[in-house]
Chain A
Amino acid sequence: MTRYEIEELAQLIALLPPAPTGWVEAAQELPRALAGLDALVARAGEDAELRRRLLADLEAAFAASDVKPTRRLLDEARRRLQG
C-alpha cells in the first residue's frame, strides 16, 4: 500500500488544471469546422473564381458557413487552397 502525504496529494491535484475553456470549445467545434473546410476546398477545386474569392477573404467565407474562423483553421484552409 502506498502512503500519501496530504501535501503530495495537493500537489498532484494541482498538476492537472483544466484546459482553458476557449481551447475546449474550439476543439469541440473542430470536427464540424473541418467538415466545413472539406466542403469549401472541394467546391474551390472545381471553381477557380470561388477559390480566388475564398483566399481573398477566408474569414468571411467561414462566417458565411457558420464556422468560427480560428487562426488554426484559417492556416489550414490557406494551405489546402494554395496547395
Chain B
Amino acid sequence: MHAICVTAFRLPPHDAEDVFQDVFAKTWAELPKLRDDGAIRPWLAQLTRRTCIDRLRAARPAAEGEPAELPDPDDVLGRLEQALDVHRCMTGLGESCNEILDRFFARDESYRAIGEALDLPAGTIASRISRCLDKLRAAMEDPASRDRPVDG
C-alpha cells in the first residue's frame, strides 16, 4: 500500500498517509467478506490504486487533466509485484540475510547502524550483503523458492 502510494502515484506524504488510512479503514470494513486469502493482495492493490486516483482527482481541477510526468501506474505496479516476489524470497534466506538486506536497501541504513542493530562488526556488513545478494539471486532463479508463500 505504501509503495503504491509513494512510488506508483508519487503522492506527497500527507496525501499518501490519508490514502493509507482510508484503505486500511475500508479493508477493515470489508474483511468479513474477503474469504479467499489469495485474493486479498490484488484486492488491496486495486483498492489502493483507486483511492490514489480519487485523491489525485480531488486535489486537482478537472480541467488540468492527468499529470504528464506521472509514470504509467500499470508499469509501476508490475514492478512492485516483482519487488514483492523478491521480498517473499528474502524471507526464505533466513533471518540474518533478510534483515541485513532489508535494512541496507529498503531502510537505507548505514553499515554502522546495521552493525549496531545486529551486533555485528561494521566492517563485515558489506561482505555479508554481497553474500546475501548472491543467495537471493540463486533463490530467485529457483522456481521452488520463488513460489514459497510469505508465511510458509
Contact = CB atoms under 8 A, between A and B. Distances in A.
B105 A2 contact: no
Contacts of B141: 1-4
Q: How large is the interface on A (under 10, 10 to 19, 20 to 34, 35 or more residues)?
A: 20 to 34
Interface string A29-40: 011001000000
A64 interface: no
B128 interface: no
Contact of B143 (A1, A3, A23, A72): A1
Interface residues of B, number: 33
B115 to A, nearest CB: 19
Contact of B102 (A13, A26, A31): A13
Contact of A18 (B107, B133, B134): B107
Interface of B: 1-3, 7, 17-18, 20-22, 24-25, 28, 79-80, 82-84, 86-87, 90, 101-102, 105-108, 133-134, 136-137, 140-141, 143
